Amino acid sequence: MRLRLSVVLVLAGMLSGAVRVYAFEALNIYGRDYEIGFGLGMQTGGKIVTDVFDENLNASGSLLLKGFVDAYVVPKLAVGAYINYTSLPSKHSYDTWGTPVWDGYTWDFPIVTVSESYSINIIEIGGSIKPRFFINERTAIKPGISIGYRQLSIDGSGFDSDNLQALGINPSCEIQYALNDRTVIFGELGAFTQPAGGNKNIGITFGPILYILAGITF
């Protein structure tokens, strides 16, 4: 009786392992050579630092669009290219002298706070490297680092915003779930940083600005 029970348990274990292996093969996760993906999300905004005196900007959150291609050099490592676009609504506040007021005896020189609104448009292209770790036959985690070239423009500002260029370095972590052997949905959490950027007249840096997005790959 004990022998029969042992045999049954061994066969059940072998069958369970075979089902898992079949699931990997049926979804063809290890066999994918590349992924083309699109994502939509939000970035949180933050402080934009410039080297123009008293001209730092406070950016608020806005939409983020991302497209990418990842090619798997081995099943657990992808190198790829990407493009990001976002527009950061930004404000700058400063104190200045207001209109002098005569109160009948003396002149009063009030200090007023001026708030100005800007829009920082950013388009970025670059390359990435992402290892891939499988949790099960359908789920994987892809931490990564992206390094890119940024082109910026600032609308509604007194800045010299011509030909603003920058270096972008963006850490990220992606969680994938395979719907079938070609379609994968994903969520991504990451951060934008800009350690260097500007033009010949001004410098612009920031970071980290957090973002979250969701999308699909084929």
**In terms of residue numbers, what domain contains 177?**
32-217
151 and 106: one domain? yes
Report pLDDT for 55: 65
Instruction: Return the SS3 of 29.
Output: coil
98 and 88: one domain? yes
114 and 202: one domain? yes
Residues 109-160: tens digit of each pLDDT: 777 676 777 788 999 999 999 999 999 888 999 999 999 999 998 876 555 5
138 and 149: one domain? yes
Contact 41, 211 (CB under 8 A): yes
179 and 77: one domain? yes
Report pLDDT for 122: 93
Report pLDDT for 106: 80
CB atoms inside a 10 Å sphere around CB 8: 10
Report pLDDT for 93: 67
Regions of the chain where pLDDT drops below 70: 1-31, 53-55, 92-95, 112, 114, 156-160
Report pLDDT for 94: 67
65 and 17: one domain? no
Phi then psi dihedrals of residue 138, to 5 deg = -120, -15
- Indicate the pTM of the whole model: 0.77
38 and 26: one domain? no
Closest alpha carbon to 187 in 195, 196, 177:
177
Report pLDDT for 141: 95
The Cα–Cα gap between 164 and 204 comes to 9
H-run or E-run covering 8: helix 2-27
Closest alpha carbon to 125 in 143, 101, 151:
151
24 and 55: one domain? no
CB atoms inside a 10 Å sphere around CB 166: 21
Q: Cβ contacts of residue 82 below 8 Å, gap of 6+?
A: 66, 67, 68, 69, 124, 125, 126, 127, 128, 146, 148
Report pLDDT for 10: 43
Q: How many domains does the chain have?
A: 2
CA dihedral over 153, 41, 61, 80, signed as positive or negative: negative
The Cα–Cα gap between 171 and 189 comes to 9
137 and 179: one domain? yes
25 and 39: one domain? no
CA distances, 33 to each of 28, 36, 53, 182 (Å)? 10, 11, 50, 11
Report pLDDT for 19: 37
Closest alpha carbon to 186 in 39, 44, 23, 71:
39
Contact 189, 212 (CB under 8 A): yes
Report pLDDT for 215: 97
19 and 39: one domain? no
25 and 69: one domain? no
Which CATH number is 133's domain given?
A: 2.40.160.20
Report pLDDT for 17: 43
The type of residue at 87 is: S
Q: Cβ contacts of residue 62 below 8 Å, gap of 6+?
A: 42, 43, 45, 86, 87, 88, 89
